[in-house]
Amino acid sequence: MKKISFVVLMGILVAGTASAEFQEPVQAAPTAEPTVNAKGGFVGGAETIVTVKQVNEMRDDVPVIVKGNIVQRMGDEKYLFEDATGAITVEIDDDNWRGQTVKPTDTVKMYGEVDRGLRTTEIDVDYIEKM
């Protein structure tokens, strides 16, 4: 009886190992754009876009999506972003522009996270999309 149980158990382990070898690897997305699966597909409901006013009330490191206009350059990788509720400083690394040219009249959607300091609140942008 013990020999039969051992043989059955070994068969299950071998079958499980063999099927694991044939699974396709999941590759990481090349951008910081939010993804669920490398193959794509339906994710769920609409994105939640927050306002500058809401961002100013959030805690540090909260992921956010904002929509509005970049109206002014304020320094190295720092820009002034505005929506209907106010303005906030955003930090956009040079490689996150992805070759896009944006004017103050262009509407953009930005994915990033709240960067809360002692006296200021900013958005550290990971991905920018010109609308």
Give pLDDT tens digits for 121-131: 999 999 999 99
Whole-angstrom distance, CA of residue 108 vs CA of residue 115: 19
> How open is the CA angle 71-77-78, to the nearest 5 degrees?
45
Report percent pLDDT > 90 for the chain.
60
| pLDDT for residue 63 | 95
Give pLDDT tens digits for 65-92: 999 999 999 989 999 999 999 999 999 9
Element (H, E) at 122: strand 121-130
- Rounded mean pLDDT, 25-48: 61
> How open is the CA angle 28-32-36, to the nearest 5 degrees?
55
What residues does each domain of the chain span?
Answer: 52-130
pLDDT at 26 over 90: no
Q: What superfamily in CATH does domain 52-130 come from?
A: Bacterial OB-fold (2.40.50.200)
Residues in the chain: 131
112 vs 5, higher pLDDT: 112
